[in-house]
Amino acid sequence: MFWKFKRRWSGVMWKNQLFYFSAVIVFFLFVNVFLFQRNFASLEAENNVDPGGTISKLNYDRAEVTKTRQVFQERNTRHNLRYMFENKLRKLLDIMESNLEHTATYGSNENEIPFEKYFSDRLLYCDDILNITDMTYMASGWTKAVYKGTFKGSPVAIKTVDVKGQEVTTCVEAGSSQTACYIKAAKKIVKEIVVLQAIAGENILKVLGFCLPRNADDNLWVAMVTELGEAVDLIKLLQMSWEDRLKVCLDITKIINYMSKTSYGSMSMNDFRRQQFVLINGTLKLSDVDDTGFEDPSCVVKADCDVTFSSANFSQRTRCIHNKCVDYNEKRNVYNAGRHFVTFLLPHGAPPNLQPIIEKVVDGYNDLTMTSQQLLKLMNDIVTSYKTGSYLNRTKSDHDHSKYSVLHESDLPGLYDYRCRLSLSIASCTISVYDEHEAEDVCNNEEQCEGFVMTKHITWSGRRLVHLKNGTGKPAYNADTTLYIRQR
């Protein structure tokens, strides 16, 4: 009987132990599932970290993913464009070298290359360049000589290799052949052909055509034909009216802003000088680009990104991100543009009410405290204020009682002209004004002024030209002018 009781007790204990172990297993399974879900949630959160390192919500994360995708698409687009740019450059260099050296391995003759694909805007070819008339030497530099001529009644400029220039002469003296030295110099012109067409824009010199020699015995030279511009020199800039200098400062700001965001990358100018620009109908244009690049410098340590200007004993550090000095080229271009143009052209002779904003622009250039985009905004604000006359800060009662008599359709041609400090003309006192009231204010402040002639001629900013007079005789008829005579 004892053994029966012991067997029954053992069976009950076995069942209890089985139940206990089952409960423990279920508990551990539950804990593991809970921990797994928790860890999985944290892993998902890690995947939702944005580039700044902060945990994002799902909708914000999707926006970041979209933004990141756009960044990569822009990089791919820029890479593809740069590849096309380099392909064009290689193609032209290949044609030039193979034709000149009679070593056409994989080159193409100029007549066989599909120029419509590579240079769709090309308007002039070699035979056209031979028909340019009135060729006159203009200037030369280290590598190139520049001529001006006439093509179908329009003025053009022709850039070609200066065979007597320092580049070729130094190369020949070093022992290289004349052909090899010519090719070395001509590569810079070929690069300019491609670069100027790649970055074509409002303030970029337009390439009308080019020519590559067909063989070494060809009378044709490597040549590029562009629109004809006027050289930019310091004396000419200082002799300009303030309004024209404002246009130059606006244009150079547009240029450096455009260079900071080209489709090929941030553009650098390794030799930034006024000689690299020309004036065409009052518009400043970039013309010399043979010593340029399209990528910010590489960096390993922060010190690699110091932008140094030894001539001014000034430097500023940019950020080193992904082994690139971000904004390096832009800062260098901003500082040089300020030094060669804005800081001495913009303040002198400016209207007093515009001086505060002009000081901000000058400080932004000198101290590199603004981006080119911020500087362009301020320059546009100055131009808008000047165009609209808002800088005059007038009240309604300022000109309620005019002290001038008005003679419509009247003029004093060639009479009573005198020279004044801010004149647009050497022979007379000619200025631009927003309206007749501003002209009255100017005349009132001129001791010699006895009246002025308001014309219908408009400047680039939309302002009217007036001629101040130091006397008032018998007026002549002119349907396009109005004479204002000061009442003493």
The CATH code that applies to domain 403-486 is 3.50.4.10
Residue 27, amino acid: F
Within its chain, how far is the Cα of 364 from the centroid? 17
Task: Assign 3-state DSSP to the chain and report helix, strand, coil percentages, each to 5.
Answer: 45, 20, 30
pLDDT of residue 211: 81
**Fold classified for 118-228:** Transferase(Phosphotransferase); domain 1 (1.10.510)
Q: Please say whether the beta carbons of 109 and 213 come within 8 A.
A: no
Classify residue 114 as exposed, middle or buried by CB count within 10 Å of its CB (0-12, 13-18, 19+). exposed
Q: What number is the average pLDDT over the span 33-54?
A: 40
In a 3-state reduction of DSSP, which class is residue 352? helix
pLDDT of residue 221: 75
Task: Write the CA distances from 158 to 121, 193, 228, integer angstroms.
Answer: 17, 12, 9
Task: Please name which of 204, 87, 226, 213 lies closest in space to residue 155, comparing C-alpha atoms.
Answer: 226
Q: Is 271 a catalytic residue?
A: yes
Selected catalytic residue, list 121, 134, 271, 398: 271
Per-residue pLDDT tens digits for 167-218:
889 988 888 888 888 888 888 888 888 888 888 889 999 988 888 765 555 5
What residues contact residue 189 under an 8 Å CB cut-off, 6+ apart? 143, 144, 159, 160, 161, 222, 223, 224, 290
What's the mean per-residue pLDDT of the chain? 78
% of the chain residues with pLDDT over 90: 34
- Per the structure block, which two tokens stand in for 119? 């240079």
Please state which CATH class domain 231-390 belongs to: mainly alpha
Per-residue pLDDT tens digits for 55-103:
344 454 555 555 445 544 555 555 555 445 555 555 556 555 555 554 4
- Please report, for the chain, the start and end positions of each structural domain, with discontinuous segments joined by +: 1-45, 118-228, 231-390, 403-486
Per-residue pLDDT tens digits for 195-208:
888 888 899 999 88
Task: Write the CA distances from 33 to 20, 36, 40, 47, 224, integer angstroms.
Answer: 20, 5, 10, 21, 75
Question: Between β-strands 223-227 and 207-211, what pairing exists: parallel, antiparallel or unpaired?
Answer: antiparallel
Rounded-to-integer distance, Cα 208 and Cα 104, Å: 27
- Per the structure block, which two tokens stand in for 43? 């892993």
Q: Say whether pLDDT at 43 is over 70.
A: no
pLDDT of residue 427: 85
Task: Write the CA distances from 326 to 51, 54, 317, 439, integer angstroms.
Answer: 17, 23, 10, 48
% of the chain residues with pLDDT over 70: 71
Q: Which helix (H) or strand (E) holds 402?
A: none
| CATH fold match for the domains 118-228 and 403-486 | no
